Amino acid sequence: MKFIDEAVIQVIAGKGGDGAASFRREKFIPKGGPSGGDGGRGGSIYAIADRNINTLVDYRFARLHRAKKGENGRGSDCYGKGADDIILRMPVGTVIGNASTGETIADLKRHEQKALLAKGGAGGLGNLHFKSSTNRAPRQFTFGEPGEELELKLELKVLADVGLLGMPNAGKSTLIRAVSAARPKVADYPFTTMHPNLGMVRIDQNRSFVMADIPGLIEGAAEGAGLGHRFLKHLARTRLLLHIVDMAPLDENIDTLHEAKAIVEELRKYDETLYQKPRWLVLNKTDLLPESDREKICKKFIRNLSWKGKSFVISALSGEGCKTLTYAVMEHLEQQSPTANQEQIRDE
C-alpha cells in the first residue's frame, strides 16, 4: 500500500430537519390544536483513531464526506428522525487541522480516540412549541439549522520514542533491521527508504521502545533538494534522536564531517523545537575502518565536530555496539518517563 501522510478533505455535516405546522384533525376532538413535531437533527461527522490503519491513502481519493439531512417533523406530534453520524477512521498519530485558519481541531494520539469534526444542524421547532393562552392556533415553525462545513488538513505524524536522522546511505535502515523485527529496504544506493518505517526494539520481556526510520536528509533540503523536509515531521513526537553518520562512505570525495554539520543545520532550519530535542551521535560502519586506526579516527571526528553530547561507535551490519546503544536508549527513556509513557505507547 502506498504511504500517504497528508490529505485535504471537506466535511459537510447534515442540515437539521424542518419543524412542521399542522393541527389535529380527529373525530370527536374539535379544535384539536397544534400538533406539528420538530425536525430531526442532521448527521455529525466524527474521526476515530484506529491502530490498524497506517496511512491516509483513503482520504487522498475520497475527499468529500457529507452527512445526511434530518427528517422533517410531521403532524400528530411526530418528530423527524435524526440522521446517522459518519465515522472516519484514521491512523493513530493523525493531526486534524482547519485548512483555512491552521487551527488544530484534534490530535489522535490513542487508539479509539474520538473527535468531533463537524456538528450536524439542530432540527427546527414544530408549531406545538408556539401555542400559548393568546395564540391558540400558531402557524409558526422554524427551519432546521445548517450543519457545519469545513475543509480539513490531515497530517500523519508517526508515534515513536526514538528517531533516526542522517544522510542517505548512512545505515539507518540497516540499524533498525539489526535491533528490531522491521525489514525496510536496504541497498547500496541513496534514498532506498522512501517512507517512514517503525520497529519495536525489545530489550527484555517487559522493556521495549519504538524506533522510527525516515528517508535520508541532505544538504539543501530546505530549498527542496532530495526529499526535502517532508518526513521530518515524523520525528516531532520522538523523545530522542540518533544522528547516524557513515564513517566509511563509498565515495572518497564525500566530506563526512561537512555532511554531519549540514544535517544539524537543516534540522535547525526546519524546527527549533526539533533541533532542541536530545540528540546522540552514532558513528556507523566502523567495521570498514582499519582496526588499528578505528578508535583514533572516531575520536578525531567527534573532536572536529565539537560534539559535546553522548556518542556511540557501532556497525549496524555486524551488530557490533548495537546492544550497548539500545540499552543506553532504553535507560534514557525510562529516566525521562518511567512506565507510564511506555504503557501508553503499547496501548496505541
Among the listed ranges 12-16, 37-41, 294-298, which one has the minimum average pLDDT value?
294-298
Whether residue 304 sits in one domain with residue 169: yes
Whether residue 167 sits in one domain with residue 115: no
Tell me, what's the pLDDT at 228? 46
Res. 339 pLDDT band, cuts 50 70 90:
very low
Among the listed ranges 92-96, 163-167, 228-232, 344-348, which one has the minimum average pLDDT value?
344-348
Whether residue 172 sits in one domain with residue 69: no
Whether residue 122 sits in one domain with residue 69: yes
Residue 21 has pLDDT above 50, yes or no: yes
Sequence length of the chain is: 348
CB-side neighbour CA atoms (13 Å) of 285: 16
Distance CA 17, CA 74 (A): 10
Percentage of residues in the chain having pLDDT higher than 70: 86
Structural domain of residue 282, as residue ranges? 162-347
The answer as to whether 303 is a domain residue is yes
pTM of the model: 0.71
State the DSSP H helix or E strand holding residue 341, giving kind and residue range, or none if neither: helix 340-347
Residue 4 has pLDDT above 70, yes or no: no
Among the listed ranges 237-246, 256-265, 267-276, which one has the minimum average pLDDT value?
267-276
Whether residue 134 sits in one domain with residue 227: no
**Boundary of a domain, candidates 137, 156, 175:** 156
Residue 186 has pLDDT above 70, yes or no: no
8 Å CB contact between 73 and 17: yes
Whether residue 145 sits in one domain with residue 21: yes
Whether residue 141 sits in one domain with residue 89: yes
The answer as to whether 32 is a domain residue is yes
**Boundary of a domain, candidates 110, 135, 156:** 156
Q: Which residues contact 325 (CB under 8 A, 6 or more apart)?
A: 179, 242, 282, 312, 314
Whether residue 135 sits in one domain with residue 13: yes
**Boundary of a domain, candidates 156, 175, 196:** 156
The pLDDT of 327-335, averaged and rounded, is 90
Query: For 206-233, what is each residue's pLDDT tens digit?
Result: 888 888 887 756 555 445 544 445 667 7
CATH number at residue 207: 3.40.50.300
Whether residue 179 sits in one domain with residue 89: no
The answer as to whether 77 is a domain residue is yes
The answer as to whether 171 is a domain residue is yes
Whether residue 111 sits in one domain with residue 46: yes
Whether residue 168 sits in one domain with residue 151: no
Tell me, what's the pLDDT at 121? 96
The count of domains in the chain is 2
Whether residue 184 sits in one domain with residue 65: no
The answer as to whether 187 is a domain residue is yes
Q: Which residue has the higher pLDDT, 83 or 27?
A: 83
CA-atom Rg of the chain in angstroms: 29
Tell me, what's the pLDDT at 184? 54
CATH number at residue 151: 2.70.210.12
The answer as to whether 1 is a domain residue is no
Tell me, what's the pLDDT at 80? 93
Q: Which residues contact 60 (CB under 8 A, 6 or more apart)?
A: 4, 7
Tell me, what's the pLDDT at 226? 46
8 Å CB contact between 33 and 131: yes
